[in-house]
């Protein structure tokens, strides 16, 4: 029996549902999902292992024109996704203007590997509008295979998944068959906390936040975790902590519950807030947080 394996790299603009779709395809909640744009900052590999194949999914940051160094790093991640893919999964949806980011689209047009185009959120439009959209994309990316779907309602996901398996090249596995993802547990702890920050606070606060896992002590029954929430300005520190520390306490409770679910263990979570001025434009800081591409 031949074994198949390949890299499927997921690309597209912020908020089109890349993370929701990749999580449905992988079957684990790996990449953080929230309605605020620009939340997946690292290239996360989710790995699906079956007896005769291995799919390595990379969920790349949304394609944004860089405003500061952090976004440059994120765009670099997305561009590198085009370089090392066996299959490109380009995700758009029924809401975004299809011509957004022509420059990136032109890179996809030049791709020499199979391109699968997923049109997500089809539950939000009428059949006629969908037909027009499919026609548009057929002209725009004539080589791509088009899959209208709804990641949220799990509609047409299986067909897309089956096609990915069909397109995988013959290859031995790239990773140990027990591996689920190449990111350590600490990474997911920081992502869960950052997701809760995105959900609990408004406007620009979440984008000025990075979470550092300072201590991760594994016990038999309980993990002790201490994290620092880095913000850019003093005013943001006050907002994160909130009146009498209530906001930080709620953040801690929300995050702890989800971390416990993810790790399958009881967790003692300590959160501290620290002002690290202008961290998004400081190279050393970005290196510490894993943006060293």
* Residue list for the binding site for GTP: 12-19, 59-63, 120-123
Distance of CA 75 to the CA centre of its chain: 13
Structure token pair of residue 280: 């998004």
CB proximity list for 287: less than 8 A, separation 6 or greater: none
Rounded CA gap, 137 and 203, in Å?
Answer: 33
Rounded CA gap, 219 and 214, in Å?
Answer: 16
Report the alpha-carbon angle 42-44-49, nearest 5.
175
User: Following DSSP, what letter does each residue of 61-73 receive, concatenated?
Assistant: PP----SSHHHHH
Rounded CA gap, 117 and 119, in Å?
Answer: 6
Nearest residue to 91 (alpha-carbon basis) of 157, 165, 2, 153: 157
Question: Looking at the chain, which runs of residues are DSSP E strands?
Answer: 4-12, 44-50, 53-59, 87-93, 115-120, 145-148, 210-218, 222-231, 266-275
Mark the binding-site residues, compressed into ranges: 12-19, 59-63, 120-123
**Contact by Cβ (8 Å): 195, 273:** no
CA 146, 152, 154, 160 torsion: positive or negative?
positive
- What is the three-class DSSP state of 23? helix
Dmax over Cα atoms in the chain, in whole Å?
63
């Amino acid at each position: 029996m031949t074994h198949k394996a390949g890299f499927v790299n997921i690309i597209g603009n912020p908020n089109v549902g890349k993370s929701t779709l990749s999580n449905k395809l992988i079957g684990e909640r790996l990449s953080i999902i929230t309605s605020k744009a620009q939340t997946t900052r690292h290239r996360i590999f989710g790995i699906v292992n079956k007896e005769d194949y291995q799919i390595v999914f990379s969920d790349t940051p949304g394609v944004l024109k860089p405003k500061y160094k952090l976004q440059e790093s994120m765009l670099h991640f997305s561009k590198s996704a085009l370089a090392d893919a066996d299959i490109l999964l380009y995700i758009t949806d029924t809401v975004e203007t299809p011509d957004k980011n022509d420059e990136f689209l032109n890179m996809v047009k030049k791709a020499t590997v199979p391109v699968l185009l997923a049109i997500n959120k089809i539950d939000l439009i009428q059949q006629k509008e969908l037909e027009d959209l499919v026609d548009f994309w057929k002209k725009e990316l004539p080589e791509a295979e088009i899959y209208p779907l709804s990641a949220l309602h799990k509609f047409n996901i299986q067909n897309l998944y089956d096609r990915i398996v069909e397109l995988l090249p013959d290859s031995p596995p790239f990773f140990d068959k027990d591996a689920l993802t190449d990111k350590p547990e600490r990474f997911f702890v920081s992502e869960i906390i950052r997701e809760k920050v995105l959900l609990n606070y408004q406007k620009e606060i979440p984008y000025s936040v990075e979470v550092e896992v300072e201590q991760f002590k594994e016990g038999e029954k309980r993990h002790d975790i201490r994290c620092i929430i880095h913000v850019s300005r003093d005013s943001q520190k006050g907002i994160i902590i909130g009146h009498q520390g209530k906001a930080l306490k709620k953040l801690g409770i929300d995050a702890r519950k989800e971390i416990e679910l993810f790790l399958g263990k009881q967790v003692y979570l300590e959160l501290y807030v620290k002002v690290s001025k202008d961290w998004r434009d400081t190279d050393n800081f970005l290196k510490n947080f894993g943006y060293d591409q």
